[in-house]
Amino acid sequence: WGILFSHPRDFTPVCTTELGRAAKLEPEFRKRNVKMIALSIDSVQDHLSWSKDINAYNGEQPEEKLPFPIIADAKRELA
């Protein structure tokens, strides 16, 4: 199984809280062999900065790493 999170832009409040919650629940998804991935139209560099914001929202250290990748779709070819 897989879950694809598609978000319009990085740093939007709803997207940040959704991915923050997904990051918190990732161990439960992993136990069920569910792969998680996100998609946003912004750049990889923006995703790395946004990941820090998401982790900070979760009350964790603002690191660039989340438990799932975020696909950069700057040309909007995938979306």
- Copy the structure tokens of residue 49: 């900065």
Expressed as residue numbers, the domain containing 31 is 2-72
CATH number of the structural domain spanning residue 50? 3.40.30.10
pTM of the model: 0.85
> What's the pLDDT score for residue 36?
96
Query: Given CA atoms 31, 69, 15, 40 in this order, what sign does their dihedral have?
Result: negative
Question: Is 79 within the bounds of a domain?
Answer: no
- Copy the structure tokens of residue 37: 């991935």
Question: Is 59 within the bounds of a domain?
Answer: yes
Q: What is the pLDDT of residues 11-41, one digit of tens each?
A: 888 889 999 999 999 999 999 999 999 999 9
Taking the CA of residue 40 as centre, how many other CA atoms within 13 Å lie in the half-sphere pointing to its CB?
A: 21
Question: Is 78 within the bounds of a domain?
Answer: no
Domain count within the chain: 1
Rounded distance between C-alpha atoms, residue 79 and residue 73, angstroms: 7
Question: Is 77 within the bounds of a domain?
Answer: no
